Amino acid sequence: MPVVPKLKVPLQMATTGLATVEQDSPEEVAACVYAIVATERGSRLENTDYGCEALEFDQLPLTDGLDEVLTQIGKYEPRAQVRTAQDVEELVGTLTIEVDA
């Protein structure tokens, strides 16, 4: 079965065109997680539940937002195994999630 390349997310240019990643690689799974978190819920007409509420305008702590992010990752990217999420109360404008594929 031929390998079908997947576009790298966020989109990046390579020397031969758009950058790609191997399907089911850790890089592709991480790109899918990025897409979930970076997509505002309701913006995809074909699936208005996909994505997360815009977190950048919420007040810290983002505890409720973190729960939503973890739920959405579990729902839309079952290949990702979220290992750790830093305590958002200690962060200033950043959310770091480690993902194993």
Round to whole Å and give the CA distance between 52 and 40: 5
Round to whole Å and give the CA distance between 20 and 78: 21
Model confidence over 34-46: pLDDT tens digits? Answer: 889 889 999 999 9
Task: Give the list of residues 6+ apart from residue 82 with CB closer than 8 angstroms, or none.
Answer: 70, 73, 74, 97, 98, 99
Fold of 6-100: Nuclear Transport Factor 2; Chain: A, (3.10.450)
pTM of the predicted protein model: 0.69
Round to whole Å and give the CA distance between 12 and 15: 10
Model confidence over 22-79: pLDDT tens digits? Answer: 888 888 888 888 889 889 999 999 999 999 887 665 555 555 567 788 889 999 999 8
